[in-house]
Amino acid sequence: MAKIAVQKITPCLWFDKNAEDAARFYVSVFKKSKIGRIARYGKAGFEVHGMPAGTVLTVEFQLLGQSFVGMNGGPLFKFTEATSFMVMCKTQKEIDYYWEKLSAGGDKNSQQCGWLKDKFDLSWQIVPEIIPELMKHKKKSEVVMTAILQMKKLDIAALKKAYAAA
C-alpha cells in the first residue's frame, strides 16, 4: 500500500458499501494518484454499524496530491449536488478526457454547465482554467455565462467566441 500524506483537512466521502471500488475508479481516472491504507470492520460494533467483519471500513486515496478517505457507512446518507469537486483543465482535450471518464455510467440527466455525476453519484465540475479570465468584465461575463448555461460539457472555443463577440 502506498503511504498517503496527512493533510490538515481531508474530505471524507460516505459510500454505502463501495468505497474501495470508487477509490480504485478515481485513481484510474486521475494520473499520479494512489490507494493508501484500507481499514476493515471487525466484529466489534456490528449491532451499531451492521457491517460484516472484514468489510472495508475506510480506504485512503490520493488524487493529484489531494488526499481523500472513502468510508463505507451504509445507505443512511447520499451525495447531493451541494458538494462537488472542481477539476480545472487547461485544454479542451483535458476537459473531454475527464468528462468522458467521470460521466461513464453516471446520471446523464444531471449534466449541465460543466457539472456531471459519476457512477457513484458524486458531483464533479469540469472547468476550463480560462473561466476566471472570461468572467472578469461585467458585460462580457454575462454573454459568457449565457453560453455556459446552454452547455452540458464546457467548450473552450465556444466560450472564447462568446467572449470575443460581446
Domain ranges of the chain: 12-72, 84-165
Residue 53 has pLDDT above 80, yes or no: yes
pTM for the model stands at 0.92
- In whole angstroms, what is the distance from residue 15 CA to residue 94 CA? 27
pLDDT one-digit tens code per residue, 90-124: 999 999 999 999 999 999 999 999 999 999 999 99
**Does 84-165 carry CATH code 3.40.50.720?**
no
Specify which residues 148 forms β-bridges with: none
| Model confidence band, residue 3 (pLDDT cutoffs 50, 70, 90) | confident
- In whole angstroms, what is the distance from residue 148 CA to residue 131 CA? 10
Q: Which fold has domain 12-72?
A: 3.30.720
Return left, alpha or beta for 45; rule: phi > 0 is left, psi -120 to 50 is alpha, else beta.
left
pLDDT one-digit tens code per residue, 11-48: 999 999 999 999 999 999 999 999 999 999 999 988 88
